[in-house]
Chains A and B, each alone.
Chain A
Amino acid sequence: MKTVLNLILSHQPAASVSNMLIHWNRCVPNESILIAYGGTKREFDAIQHQQKFFIDDPRLRTRDHQREFQSYTRLFQAAAEFLEKQGDQFRFVHFAEYDHLPLVPDLNERQIDRLTAEGADLLAFHVHRVDGTNNPHFLYHVADDKFMSYWSGMSRRAEADVVLSMFGSGSFWNREAFCSVSALKEPFPIYMELYLPTLAHHLGFRVRDLTEQNRFVRALASEVDPIDKAHAQGAWTLHPVKRLWDK
């Protein structure tokens, strides 16, 4: 039974996507992979993978992601529609950007075990509570009065002013949390690294950090070890690895 849907976001040329899939197939079944494509329509058409969809959303195709409030909402909505069409085949969703490299052949099993052990609904990297702090994403959003009002208006929780942050390149969801978050319309532009974990939290889902894996998931390539070294040190995944698929 296909349990985990591996949702991979890419904008690279079709040849690079093929190389990426060869690597991913060492870690997860090919039929569990759904490609979300943010590149050109021409390259999308050339991708030789059955499960794929094209996203034509300017909120995804940002250059300055934080200031332009990059959003994964449309992407997640399209993936949720795919899940719906597949019936009950998938119970979890693993989201990864193209440069977030899987390193272990039992990745999905590890993720399920961790989610279960934590009693969590969403596992992510660098999960922090940032309300009231100097976190730049929080300060950028809280300058708009609508931001905190929105959470206090929709939250199911007693403490409605909690704002969470996570690293956006990879996350692991149970299906209910993923679909619940996808079902809501973004009220106004909110950067996805705040929006996704905060929304999941206020809908009542449990968001947990992947603690010891955080050091393998960083913003800059200079901050992470080479692939072999990271793997030897216990990395499940590694980010960013940008040029690997160009070869």
Chain B
Amino acid sequence: MIRKFIRAVGLKIAQTIGTSIKDFLSGRSLGRALAIPWRGKIHVIGLNVAVRPMFQPQKRLTYWKQEIIFTEHPPPDFPNIRKTERPSPSEITDD
């Protein structure tokens, strides 16, 4: 009970003072979260939507500064396919 309460308070703080996170492609707001580097990892605290992290595409060949951004998948809209779309590996030619 106390742990749940502390977590709820921590989340509220993260979602209040955290950085605003936007979908890189659409610009839609995904909420606020704290992004904290710790022991070689980045801890994202407070985000409650399913997002994909990725390095932002860059037009210059640099390693020294790169940006991790977040995107959402578009809503699932896959067609009905009742036959195999993928060829069997034995049917793939080298041409």
Contact = CB atoms under 8 A, between A and B. Distances in A.
Chains A and B belong together in one complex: yes
A210 to B, nearest CB: 11
Interface of B: 44, 47, 50-53, 72-86
B75 A209 contact: yes
Interface stretch (A141-149, A182-190, A198-206): A198-206
Interface stretch (A56-64, A85-93, A151-159, A226-234): A151-159
Contact of A135 (B50, B79, B82, B84): B50
A224 interface: no
Interface of A: 119-121, 127-135, 138, 155-158, 160, 162, 164-165, 201, 204-209, 211
A206 B85 contact: no
Given A134-B47, A206-B80, A127 B86 contact: no
12 contacts: A128-B50, A128-B75, A128-B76, A133-B50, A133-B51, A156-B81, A157-B86, A201-B78, A204-B81, A205-B82, A206-B78, A206-B79
Contact of B77 (A132, A135, A138, A208): A208
B80 A129 contact: no
B76 A127 contact: yes
A134 B71 CA distance: 11
A156 to B, nearest CB: 5
B50 A156 contact: no
A134 B79 CA distance: 25
B86 A128 contact: no
B85 A157 contact: yes
Contacts of A121: 80
A7 to B, nearest CB: 22
A129 B76 contact: yes
B82 A204 contact: yes
Contacts of B86: 155-158, 160
A66 to B, nearest CB: 14
Given A156-B81, A207-B78, A129 B73 contact: yes
- The interface residues of chain A, by DSSP majority, are classed as loop
Nearest to A132: B52
B84 A134 contact: no
Q: Enumerate the 7 nearest inter-chain pairs by beta-carbon distance, A residue then B residue, closest first.
A: A129-B73, A135-B50, A206-B80, A133-B50, A158-B85, A204-B81, A132-B52
A207 B76 contact: yes
B76 A208 contact: yes
A131 B83 CA distance: 23
B29 to A, nearest CB: 16
A155 B87 CA distance: 11
A134 B74 CA distance: 15
A208 B86 CA distance: 22
Given A128-B76, A201-B78, A134 B83 contact: no
Contacts of B75: 127-129, 209, 211
B25 to A, nearest CB: 14
B76 A209 contact: yes
Contact of B53 (A127, A134, A206, A208): A134
Contacts of A133: 50-52, 72-73
